[in-house]
Amino acid sequence: MACTLIIVLAAFSLLQPTGGDLYFDDVISDHAVLQGRPLPFSLFGTSDQVVGNLAVSVSGTLIKIRDVEILSSSRKTNESKAIFNWRLILDPVDPGGPHKVVVTSDADVEAVLNDILFGDVFLCAGQSNMQMTVGMSAAAAAEA
């Protein structure tokens, strides 16, 4: 019995991971709004190993990848491993959501984003004119 246990433990100690982890960049996280149609959108992140081929799905539907950039980086982790940066340019996605976005490498390693919406985000800034509603304008009836 002890011999069998030693053999099993020795076998497990020889196993190596099949691929590195994929991570999205810190500016991309769950509950985000990504660019919707008509423009393509990009996803980017890092991996602790060369990622090979990547695939992206939105709510289970594969999205065509227009361009892939995989760059080696001089940045090192605490364990002195190289970090590889990846960037994907993807076909446009119809506005809406929420969606689950999954980036998968050919080593079956994935990065997942949950509760993602596709559309446009407008950042408005100004002074007193930002407080004025359409109803307060001179041609409010025509604007409504």
pLDDT at 129: 65
Q: How many other CB atoms are found less than 10 A from the CB of residue 25? A: 13
How many Cα atoms sit within 13 Å of 133 on the Cβ side? 4
Residue 63 bridge partners (DSSP) = 56
Matching residue, tokens 């994907």: 88
Range among 9-18, 50-59, 111-120 with highest mean pLDDT value:
111-120
Cβ proximity of 96 and 75 under 8 Å: no
% of the chain exceeding 90 in pLDDT:
30
Residue 126 vs residue 120, higher pLDDT: 120
The model's confidence at residue 131, banded by pLDDT at 50, 70 and 90, is: confident
pLDDT at 12: 38
CATH 1.10.760.10 fits 18-126, yes or no: no
% of the chain exceeding 70 in pLDDT:
75
The encoded tokens of residue 107 equal 């080593």
The pTM of this model reads: 0.67
Range among 61-65, 75-79, 113-117 with highest mean pLDDT value:
113-117
